[in-house]
Structure formats: C-alpha cells, structure tokens
Structure 1
Amino acid sequence: MVEILSNITILAAIYLVLNIVAFGAYGFDKAKASMDKWRTPEKTLLILAFFGPFGAYAGMLVFRHKTQKKPFTWAVPLFILIHIIAFIGIIFILN
C-alpha cells in the first residue's frame, strides 16, 4: 500500500509540473505576441494542453490568450473532460 501511495505521489507531482509548464507556455507565447516576436506554434500549445489541460485553461484565462481561436475553445475543455474521466477511472481501479 505504501508503494502505491508513493507512486501516486510521483504521478501527481509529474502531473502538476505538466500543468505548470502548459500554463507558462501560454504566458510566454502571449508575451511574445505582445512584443511581435517569434511565437510558439499552435500545435505545440495544443499538445501541451493535452498533457496539462488545467494549466493550459488557466493560462488561457489569466493571460487572455487563444480564447478566440476555435481549436483552443473546444480542444482544451475536451482535454479537461478526458482527464476528469481518466481520474474517475483510476479512482475506481484503485478502490
């Protein structure tokens, strides 16, 4: 049981880092957009959103970035839904 808890802790830490990275990427891209400099490709931002959807969504709201772009308005919420369903599935598996 202790091993399972330590594995869950490690996975939670990795998940937190992924969401922080996604949040930061959205902020970084917004800053670059404001300075009219090289931008992060939208595909990269969407991939980051797939792995860290909560951070990506927070980045969209906080930085007001990509909130009008169609792929982002439907994909990021969809990724959040997928992650919530996966979390529920994992909880059922562990119990």
Structure 2
Amino acid sequence: MEVLLVSLFVINSIEFILAGYDKYLAVKHKRRIPENTLFTIAFFGGSIGLLLAMLLFRHKTSKTSFIIKFGIILLLQIVLVYLKLTGKI
C-alpha cells in the first residue's frame, strides 16, 4: 500500500510539473507538450496532478475537447476504483 501511495505521489507530481511547464511554454509561444502525453500520464494515475495544475495555472480550462477527454479518463478511474473497493474486480 505504501509503495502505491508513493508511486501515485510521484506520478501526480510529474504530471503537475509537466502541465505547469506546458502552460509556461504556451505563454512563451514555444513548442508545447503534446496533449496525448498529458492524457497518458493522467490515465496511469496522474489525473489529480493534472486537475490541480489545470485549476492552479488555469491551463486548458477553456478547451472543451481537452476537458471532455480528461473527464472521460477521470470517470474511468473513479469507476475502476469503485469496482476494486467493492470487490467486483
């Protein structure tokens, strides 16, 4: 359990930093981090980090397609955690 918590902390920290850096790149009009990279990290446990970065940096909050895709990832994770906690998987 401790290993899982440390792993989630690390991946969420990485996601948060990457999203913050992507916001910095956007402001500077530089080459950006691909959305698929952000989505992949979010899918594998970094969704809290991405959500916090979106709220704190106001990053990608007005891009509807990004919000929808991120919402789907978040919903899938919630369903998987629920199924795991209830012993259905």
Into which bin does the TM-score normalised by the smaller protein fall? Answer: 0.7 to 0.9
Q: Percent sequence identity over matched residues?
A: 35
Instruction: Give the RMSD, CA atoms, in angstroms.
Output: 1.5
Structure 1: gaps (5+ residues): 1-7
TM (norm. structure 2) is 0.82
Separation in 1, partners of 2:48, 2:66:
13
> Which runs of at least 4 in structure 1 moved beyond 6 Å after TM superposition?
none
1:4-43 paired onto structure 2 within 5 Å: 8-43=1-36
Name the larger-Rg structure. 1
Q: Which runs of 5+ in 2 are unaligned?
A: none
Secondary structure of 1:78's partner? helix
Q: Secondary structure at the match of 2:86?
A: helix
Distance 1:29 1:22 in 2: 10
In structure 1, the partner of 2:59 is: 65
Partners of 1:35 and 1:69 in 2: CA distance:
19
Aligned length: 86
| Amino acid across the alignment from 1:37 | K
Q: What TM-score do the two structures reach when normalised by structure 1?
A: 0.78
- Structure 1 residue 70: Cα displacement: 2.6
Matched, 1:90 2:84: yes
- Contact 1:46–1:72 (CA under 8 A) maintained in structure 2: no
Aligned equivalents of 1:41, 1:35: Cα separation in 2: 16
